[in-house]
Structure 1
Amino acid sequence: MDSPIAKLGPEILLEIFEWLSRDRSATLVPSVLCCRKWQSLVTPVLYSDVVLTNNNIAKFAGNSPGHEVRSLTIRLDPILVDPSNPSEAKQIVESRLKVLILLGLRIPRMRPKALSISIDFATPLTASREVSSILDHLPTCCTSLEVHVSDVRHGGVIPGFTADPRTDVHLCDTIRTILPQLQHLRLHLPRLCSAIFSSGQPSQNAPRQVVRTPMLKTCIIDFSMRPPGPSSYSGAWAIPCNEDTTQILPIPPASQLPSALPPVVPVLKDFARVNSANIERFWIIDVESRDPSCPNSWAAWVRRDFMTNTSFPIPATNIGGFRLDGWLARVPSPISPNKTQDWLATPSILQSLAEGSTWVGTTSGAILPITMIREHQDILKARTRESFQKQTRISCMLWRNEDETGEKLLPKGPGKLMQQWNLSETTPNGWTRDAYHGSPMVRIPYDEV
């Protein structure tokens, strides 16, 4: 006699397998091996949104049977570097670089519609050559691309080793060649230049040749290398491609390095104008550090919208101490950008909100354009102030002062495209406060006003 589950139709079984794919503690591999009927149903689900990490990338690249996938997420996190034995870390990184080359050769057979690459290696080793190789093999069916390469000032240092200049590839040139096939692009690179969007330098006889991208709908370029914060090493920005910091150890704070954004602004404006017919969202995420000379100033992401020539500050800070989900950001409303809402989550989730949730992370680890999220997929979400406080009982002086005065104290947009924002908290009329960070508002007596 057939078991009850054997009587289920393929539609119901497929629904069950899709629900199982949402659970990180569950595995679909035994289901593939159960029987031929299940194998035909489970395989498309198992290889739908593939996530490769430090733990499984080598096995996948070596044994991949060449199944087609809907999306491919590659996330290689930092490894620990033992100062007494740095050669071990170097060997691990070099082995992963070889795996990336092998994976690039197999990507054409996988035919992903979306590719997300996030790599964080220790200085002086980079993965620019390997990432470039993957992009060179990108099939034309891949129309969504995210590239997130670590900041050389962030991924740690392997002492005693120097980088081989032959392994350093200019990613801007590589990305430019595949721009025309893309619908969604998200970049987070430590070095950037105008070569991504144009070829050649403008002159009196030869104007700049801006790339035309008839398919492109959304383009997010994040110049912030770290979440905004009070430290001089927080809120760092991308630097120009011709700026060499790899030989400077320790790497200086961001305030001592040039930002890559000002030199490329003319090209970004030209690119937005030339492709305005099809681009729906072209945002640059800039970063402004907290002014240590102002006791109640904030650091912020700054969303610079090159389609509307406006900018919006997104103040952010950590109010949760050691809680990873205790970061606060005041984000413009997607419906009414001149209104704001407070959200609390990890820095990466808040950064996605700063980018308008154009790309989002799922609970399974996949990074996808929001347009590719399926009904059964759960995305990583931030919490409102009410939800956060109900669970943690954590507050901050900003909220207390705003509740006391009845006014919002942080700046909000819109402003001019390249506006440098004053991120200090305002003091309403009739109120005063002491000149130290986090001081409470005190009402001025009426006879002293």
Structure 2
Amino acid sequence: MLLCSRLPSSTPTTLRTMPPHGDQEVISRLSNELLLLVFNQNLPSATLAACAQTCKSWNRLATAVLYKHVTLTSTRKLASWSTATPPSLDATVQTLTICVTKVQTATGPEDPAITMEELRQSLGRLQVRISRMSELESLSITTPKKLTRGLWVSNTAISKILDNVPNKCLGLELVIRNGPYQASAEDAESHLCVAIRRLIPNLQFVRLALPSLCSECFGYVSSVDSPASEPIFTAVELPKLRECIIILASPKLGNNVERFDKPCNPDVSLASVNAIVESLVSLAGLGKAPAIEKLWVYDCLPGSDDEGYSYGAFVRRDVLANKSYTFPWNDIAPLKRADSFFIRMPEEEGGDDMITTRDNAACLVERHAWLTVGNGARLPAALMTKHGLHEQDCPVQTRTQWFESSKISTALWKNESDTGMRLLHGESGDLLENRPAVFRIPESWERGVLGFLRKAEL
């Protein structure tokens, strides 16, 4: 049988040696424990759904496994799940992944007004249902880089969801990319960072990229009467926190950058990279997060207008190491391929050139802290290992692999080959230092056309 062929070597011999064409009498005698062992072998959702329709006993067992890792990749799927799935299954959910994407129909995108109303109702139902997810370990809510105009994820709705997350939850990922036009009067009264602060003492793994973010995720910021006075930050106790990644910018086309550090609440918020980093320095320095292993803030620096020699840069700020690391980046073939994003790793991490997608480049900067598994679920790497899940294949290639598959090279690689030198550097610096990617032209060489170097004339 196909299912038997996927079982681990530790599976009892009686199950591994079942007749190749199946035997209903033998299968009917299998214990629930052995059936659960089969169903828990990372089977595709479609296979589990088929097993659930076989008989009553299989339905009960397969359904419990099917709803352990719930992945909802559109507003329509979120609406269907929140209305059609029996509430009795909420207690079986261990990871919940929601990606808010627009719905495509046969005639094109669905009316944004209809989608927005559907999303609003679905998030409202989720506020109630998530409180019953007693086994929930990880929650991920993300949006694509561009939402349809008229569609946004309400801060108020997310705040209410976070307020109902069970205490057992260990991981939280919020990657919300609402545009500047996407806001509501209700959201003006809602401060999402405060809701995060109420939940974060229970969490071990946090990843945040929000259109507005401030230090109140991690403590209290006192308001001040005088504009010349600096607000006072008081960190909260985070006894369980192990990994925290804050994303304040991401690359855009043309070596441009999209920022995520707008003010949240002008009366008390501390916006900007410096304020976030300084609040985390205070958090770590005062011992408020005794279990912390990774405390990173990363943002991006745009490239210059220097054609052929311009590279953007990720800047990863490691609060615990008190250092920053620069990762030069560029898009090799943006009009031809989605997986043509070039990133050069720091020399401390091997210095390799990697080519991938924009999102996977961020994963490299974060050292694979959060991963996407086979069914699309997003969760911390540590929890993926715990549940025996497997990472989804992602297009990451070395320089050699990329050239062999695409036959596309770059002026940088040609220049480094001709000069015999490493010309593009991602350097480490002080924690708050903004070190751009540096392209150095060696002595006796000069700029030519289209970004290529040539020997200087004597």
TM-score band, normalised by the shorter chain?
0.7 to 0.9
Q: What amino acid sits opposite 1:152 in the alignment?
A: G
Match of residue 377 from structure 2: 366
Cα separation, 1, equivalents of 2:37 and 2:421: 49
Match of residue 270 from structure 1: 282
In the alignment, does 2:188 pair up with 1:163? no
Unaligned runs of 5+ in 1: 245-257
Match of residue 399 from structure 2: 385
Cα separation, 2, equivalents of 1:117 and 1:351: 17
Change over 3 Å in CA distance of 1:418–1:80 after alignment to 2? farther
Q: What amino acid sits opposite 2:423 in the alignment?
A: L
Change over 3 Å in CA distance of 1:5–1:235 after alignment to 2? farther
Q: Secondary structure at the match of 2:241?
A: coil
1:228–1:235: 8 Å Cα contact kept in structure 2?
yes
Match of residue 222 from structure 1: 247
1:229–1:235: 8 Å Cα contact kept in structure 2?
no
Q: What amino acid sits opposite 2:234 in the alignment?
A: Q
Cα separation, 2, equivalents of 1:86 and 1:70: 32
Q: Which residue among 320, 325, 332 is the counterpart of 1:319?
A: 332
Q: Secondary structure at the match of 2:292?
A: coil
Q: Secondary structure at the match of 1:200?
A: strand
Q: How does 1:80-95 map to 2 (within 5 A)?
A: 88-95=111-118
Cα separation, 1, equivalents of 2:375 and 2:346: 28
Cα separation, 2, equivalents of 1:433 and 1:61: 60
Percent sequence identity over matched residues? Answer: 28
Q: How does 1:82-121 map to 2 (within 5 A)?
A: 88-111=111-134, 112-119=136-143, 121=147
- Could you list the per-position Cα deviations for residues 359-410 of structure 1 after superposition, in whole angstroms to 9, with x for gaps in the alignment? 1112321111010114442334322222222222222111222222222222
In the alignment, does 2:452 pair up with 1:443? no
2:103–2:109: 8 Å Cα contact kept in structure 1?
no
Q: How does 1:44-443 map to 2 (within 5 A)?
A: 44-54=64-74, 55-65=76-86, 66-67=88-89, 68-78=92-102, 88-111=111-134, 112-119=136-143, 121-122=147-148, 125-153=152-180, 163-165=184-186, 169-201=190-222, 208-224=233-249, 226-230=250-254, 232=256, 234-242=257-265, 260-274=272-286, 275=288, 277-293=290-306, 296-321=309-334, 322-332=336-346, 336-337=348-349, 339-374=350-385, 375-381=388-394, 382-434=396-448, 438-443=450-455
- Cα deviation for residue 115 of structure 1 reads 0.4
Alpha-carbon RMSD across the aligned residues, in angstroms, is 3.1
Change over 3 Å in CA distance of 1:397–1:168 after alignment to 2? farther
- Could you list the per-position Cα deviations for residues 198-228 of structure 1 after superposition, in whole angstroms to 9, with x for gaps in the alignment? 2132879x9632111010000000001x325
Q: Secondary structure at the match of 1:315?
A: strand
1:20–1:27: 8 Å Cα contact kept in structure 2?
no
- Cα deviation for residue 41 of structure 1 reads 3.7
Change over 3 Å in CA distance of 1:148–1:13 after alignment to 2? same
- Cα deviation for residue 130 of structure 1 reads 0.9
Cα separation, 2, equivalents of 1:61 and 1:279: 35
2:71–2:96: 8 Å Cα contact kept in structure 1?
yes
Q: What amino acid sits opposite 1:144 in the alignment?
A: G
Q: Secondary structure at the match of 1:91?
A: helix
Q: TM-score, normalised by structure 2?
A: 0.81
- Cα deviation for residue 14 of structure 1 reads 4.6
Cα separation, 2, equivalents of 1:221 and 1:135: 18
Q: What amino acid sits opposite 1:263 in the alignment?
A: A
1:72–1:116: 8 Å Cα contact kept in structure 2?
yes
Unaligned runs of 5+ in 2: 1-18
Q: Secondary structure at the match of 1:42?
A: helix
My pick for the range that moved more, 122-131 or 407-416, is 122-131
Match of residue 4 from structure 2: none
- Could you list the per-position Cα deviations for residues 51-78 of structure 1 after superposition, in whole angstroms to 9, with x for gaps in the alignment? 0122311111012223211200010124
Q: Secondary structure at the match of 1:363?
A: coil
| Number of positions where the alignment pairs a residue of Structure 1 with one of Structure 2 | 414
1:312–1:415: 8 Å Cα contact kept in structure 2?
yes
- Cα deviation for residue 412 of structure 1 reads 2.0
Cα separation, 1, equivalents of 2:141 and 2:302: 27
Q: 1 or 2 for the larger relative contact order (CA 8 Å, sep ≥6)? A: 1
Q: Secondary structure at the match of 1:314?
A: strand
Cα separation, 1, equivalents of 2:289 and 2:185: 41
1:115–1:145: 8 Å Cα contact kept in structure 2?
yes
Cα separation, 1, equivalents of 2:255 and 2:312: 10
- Cα deviation for residue 301 of structure 1 reads 1.3
Cα separation, 1, equivalents of 2:337 and 2:37: 36
Q: Secondary structure at the match of 2:443?
A: coil
Q: TM-score, normalised by structure 1?
A: 0.83
- Cα deviation for residue 235 of structure 1 reads 4.0
1:228–1:300: 8 Å Cα contact kept in structure 2?
no
Cα separation, 2, equivalents of 1:167 and 1:17: 46
